[in-house]
Structure 1
Amino acid sequence: MKRSMVRNGAILAGFALATTFFVSLTFQATKARIADQQQQQLKRTLGQIIPDELHDNPLHQHCVTVQSEQFLGSKYPQRAFVATLGDSATALAIETTAPDGYNGDIKLIVGIDAQGQVLGVRTLAHQETPGLGDDIELRKSDWVLSFNGKQTQGAKDKNWGVAKDGGQFDQFTGATITPRSYVKAVHNALLYFDYEFTRLSKQAIDCGDPQ
């Protein structure tokens, strides 16, 4: 009886070890695929908001960590990708957060050229209400394209608001909080750019493949 219990225990332990091993292998393989998918998505997004003619560097790998809860909406580090042409910085793609969306944080990325003009904006992640606040996704609406070519005249620029507040950007039917939050986040990213572009363009390093 005792030998049988020992044998059965050893068999169960072997099964447990084997299961753990295969789960670990599956996790590592899945993690690698997810990381690759994230990298490919980042490349596509950056390609949409910073034109190829503005850079000759591997944009998705040339970045600097940025952190400003005041301007970038989060206490956590985010990234700014620096576009260069030759030895000159031509644009930044800044990850930023709208912390006051209707259903929480809205993560976005803003492409800005060296003259402070918006090249493009894309939504990275959000939890806004389908059919109301999700017009911030390009696949749902072309609303984010309304930022293209816009600049700011400073923190008190009244154009940077939704139409309901006297600004130049449309709100959504039945939803004002989401676009109001989004516009504010893009404007703050522009203000941050104005303050930090020169410094950030000199600090960018090879940040490697995003994880």
Structure 2
Amino acid sequence: MLNIIRKNGVILAIFAAITTGLTAIIHEVTKPAIQDQRSLTRQNLLDQVLPSKLYNNNLQSSCYIIRNPELGDNIEHRLYIAKKDEKPVAVALETTASNGYSGNIKIIVGANFNGLIYGARVLEHHETPGLGDKIELRLSNWINSFHDKIVDKHHIANFAVKKDGGDFDQFTGATITPRAVVNAVKNNTLFIKTLPETIPHLKKCNKNTEE
């Protein structure tokens, strides 16, 4: 009986070792492809908020980490600096709208240091399907309404939903979500305008953060 138990134990141990080994091999073989796909996905997103003609550096290699309550929370956010001949000209910066109808809405905004917005995209949200989820590009073009808008302190009241006296449409039956996004994009762009003096002190993304 003991011999049978030992035999089965050895078989299970060998099977576990083989399975673990195969899993490790598969992980190492597929890791480059997964990383390449992540890089392509990230670049596609960055291209949507920062036109490639603006810069001639490797945008993904110019990734930094920033933490500031003005970005909607106190967690680390990624920031990508677009440079033209080594001179910073624009930024793609993640931010959080913490007052969405169903919680936090994660956003990325591309803008220059004069307050001109090149684009904005929603990265993650939990808004109501059929109502608040129209902030997604796949469901509505609403998010494109930020394109080429300027955040100017002299006309700051215009950067709001129409229900609040601003220029941006709200959704039928859902004002809280677009209001949260508009305010987050506005605050993020104002924050980007303050970045030139901060850039030399920013922390670079590490490999794990970039992934």
TM-score (norm 1): 0.88
Which consecutive unaligned segments of at least 5 residues does structure 1 have?
none
Secondary structure of the equivalent of 1:192?
helix
Q: CA deviation at 1:186?
A: 0.4
The answer for the alignment partner of 1:52 in structure 2 is 52
The answer for the alignment partner of 1:97 in structure 2 is 96
For 2:176, the aligned partner's letter is: I
- Flag as ranges the 4+ runs of structure 1 deviating above 6 A: none
Q: CA deviation at 1:48?
A: 1.7
Using a 3 Å threshold, how does the CA distance of structure 1 residues 178 and 29 change in structure 2: closer, same or farther?
farther
Q: CA deviation at 1:23?
A: 3.4
The answer for the alignment partner of 2:123 in structure 1 is 124
Secondary structure of the equivalent of 1:174?
coil
State how many pairs are aligned. 209
The answer for the alignment partner of 1:6 in structure 2 is 6
For 1:54, the aligned partner's letter is: L
Structure 1: distance between partners of 2:100 and 2:183 = 11
8 Å CA contact retained: 1:74, 1:99: yes
Root mean square deviation, CA, Å: 2.3
Note the 1:1-211 alignment, pairs <5 A. 1-28=1-28, 32-69=32-69, 71-154=70-153, 157-200=156-199, 202-203=200-201, 207=205, 210-211=210-211
Q: CA deviation at 1:36?
A: 2.9
Structure 2: distance between partners of 1:56 and 1:205 = 21
Q: CA deviation at 1:30?
A: 5.7
Using a 3 Å threshold, how does the CA distance of structure 1 residues 140 and 162 change in structure 2: closer, same or farther?
same
Using a 3 Å threshold, how does the CA distance of structure 1 residues 35 and 127 change in structure 2: closer, same or farther?
farther
Structure 2: distance between partners of 1:45 and 1:39 = 10
TM-score (norm 2): 0.88
What per-residue deviation string (whole Å, max 9, x for no partner) do you get for residues 145-199 of structure 1?
A: 1111222233992222211111111101111111011011101101211222332
Worse-superposed segment, 156-165 or 124-133 = 156-165
